[in-house]
Amino acid sequence: MYDLVISINVHENYPFLLRQLENIKNNVSLNYCIILNCNKYMFNECINLPENVYINPEIIEKRRFHGSIAHGIYSNMCYAINNLKFEYFVCCSSRNFFENNMTIDKLNHLNYATTPQTMDYNIWHWPAFKNSLLYKYINFKNVIMCGVAHEGLLFKFSDVVNIKDFLENNQDIRIDTFNYHCCVEEFALNAIAVYKGGGYYLIGNGSHGVDNVRSYDSDTKFMYKVPRS
């Protein structure tokens, strides 16, 4: 039984991954495991890793600004549900470091977002995402959607189950989402969680990667993004 599953999409720079794993070990003070979703290159590179690091056998060649990133996260969700017992699941990129000594008590006292604020659907990546089947489906149900950086997007176990079940039961939406040319990872998973009556947490400081930029709220933020160099 893990307190936390840490999901990471990896596609390059194995030495940096080792630094990332060491950072997690030093800053996450709860019972955790890590699931790596790899492309073919990193799948062959990832050997002799710690026992609590699992390599998802589904190899996905992910691209920026493409639904394949969300596909990698979803695949890790499926792997976690099918193979592990856990309480929380957090989405990370291959550039996320942790800080602020994350504990299970701190996670249990975070603010759970269940009702997103009204969004301006004409800015950011919204104009592109609005043409997706997922957006049209949820918008038709009159559910407010929220766009957030997926780095640091944290879900309860029940939310992960709901996301998995929704995408399994809506094949056309699933296929469209994972092949869509847009940053759907910033919208899709949290939108489904809220639509299914759940929510999400945000424990990262955003998607902008600048060296030595730390979280702006030490009580609720535990991740930041750095250059992979």
Q: Which two tokens stand for residue 118?
A: 């009204």
Task: Assess contact for 126 and 147: CB atoms under 8 A.
Answer: yes
Rg (C-alpha) for the chain, rounded Å, is 16
Q: Which residues pair with 54 in a beta bridge?
A: 35
Q: Which two tokens stand for residue 119?
A: 């969004």
pTM of the model: 0.93
Q: Which two tokens stand for residue 101?
A: 């000594």
- Domain with residue 49: its CATH number is 3.90.550
For the chain, what is the domain count?
A: 1
CA–CA gap between residue 202 and residue 111 (Å, rounded): 9
Per residue in 25-68, pLDDT (tens digit) is: 999 999 999 999 999 999 999 999 999 999 999 999 999 889 99
CA–CA gap between residue 33 and residue 3 (Å, rounded): 9
Per residue in 140-153, pLDDT (tens digit) is: 788 778 778 899 99
Burial grade of 34 (CB within 10 A; 0-12, 13-18, 19 or more)? buried
Q: Which residue segment(s) compose the domain that 74 sits in?
A: 2-225
